[in-house]
Structure 1
Amino acid sequence: MDKKAALAKAEHYCAYQERSQYEIRNKLYDWGLKTAEVEELISELIVTNFLNEERFAKVYVSGKFNIKKWGKIKIKQSLKIKQVPDKMITKALNTIDSGDYLQTLLELAEKKAKLITENDAYKKKYKLITYLMGKGFENNLISEVLKDNNLP
């Protein structure tokens, strides 16, 4: 694939959905471009604002929190895998409203507590905490929400 065709295809790829530089770089290599061409195209995409790492991080955080109901730990790990800089991850995570965050945690806890059929209270609490930690919520917040709302 020549550079011009790759640029058009990459622009379309970025326009369809926000992407990280890591995702674009991998896609360009998959298309058979060489390192110098890949870096040149990434620079071009940044200049034309098709590629914006900060915008990507904010949209990613918003989507994973609002749609998938992920906690900050899981979102942060996922962004690190996509090689988003720590500073941008922190900035994006700070866009989550703390009230909404706690409310989401409570709703997930209440919903899951109803579904756990365990009779032993200790095991039920363990299963609930494990589930919420798997969703990426912080252990101290989980304990606080469970205690404040008399959940198992």
Structure 2
Amino acid sequence: MRSYRTYTIDEAKARMERYCAYRERCHKEVQQKLNEMRMIPEAIDLIIHHLITHNYLNETRYSTTFARGKFRIKKWGKQRIVRELKARDISQYNIKLALKEIPESEYYVAFHELSEKRWTQLDPETNLQKKKKKFSDYLLYRGWETNLIWDKLRELES
């Protein structure tokens, strides 16, 4: 039989404060962590309320930081960012605020740089259709809009 570590509410609060202070967290991550700690639902609600009131947990701050980071560092498009935020149960209001963090001019510049870099990375395929498919699949996976991808493909072909 396996024994599990048990936590008092105060110990769990302190642990969650450190967990949230390390980097931005969403409610879902904190909830999962508390479930892993085998806390009961009433204690989870109490701890999450404590974290929100003491500003350790803030979904608006989390979503804006997430969007900015994933765009600037990983070069994700808006569709991928929205998909990932929805997977973390972020509200539609916070998703819209997060997308406003990405300046339009920077967005298009990043898209053009990324697409041209990818086009040159692809081997000079003997079959142009294969190259176009690999190119579009790469950008679609990264969350860029289809109309941008097709326009860029037409531009690169000519």
* TM-score bucket (shorter structure): over 0.9
Which residue of 2 is the match for residue 104 of structure 1? Answer: 110
- Alpha-carbon separation, structure 1, partners of 2:32 and 2:52: 16
Q: Of 28, 31, 35, which aligns to 1:25?
A: 31
Q: Of 137, 149, 156, which aligns to 1:151?
A: 156
Which residue of 2 is the match for residue 121 of structure 1? Answer: 128
- Alpha-carbon separation, structure 2, partners of 1:24 and 1:49: 14
Q: Residue 146 of structure 1: CA displacement?
A: 3.6
Q: Alignment RMSD, CA only? A: 1.1
Which residue of 1 is the match for residue 147 of structure 2? Answer: 140
- Structure of greater Rg: 2
Q: Residue 129 of structure 1: CA displacement?
A: 1.2
- Alpha-carbon separation, structure 2, partners of 1:9 and 1:47: 16
Give the aligned length.
150
Which residue of 2 is the match for residue 67 of structure 1? Answer: 73
- Alpha-carbon separation, structure 1, partners of 2:106 and 2:150: 17
- Alpha-carbon separation, structure 1, partners of 2:60 and 2:151: 32
Q: Following superposition of structure 1 onto structure 2, how do residues 28-47 of structure 1 map, counting pairs within 5 Å?
A: 28-47=34-53
Q: Residue 137 of structure 1: CA displacement?
A: 0.4
Residue ranges of structure 2 left out of the alignment (5+ in a row)? 1-6
Structure 1 consecutive aligned stretches of length 4 or more whose deviation exceeds 4 Å: none
Return the letter of the residue paired with 2:18: H
Identity of aligned residues (%): 37
> Which TM-score applies when normalising by structure 2?
0.91
> Which TM-score applies when normalising by structure 1?
0.94
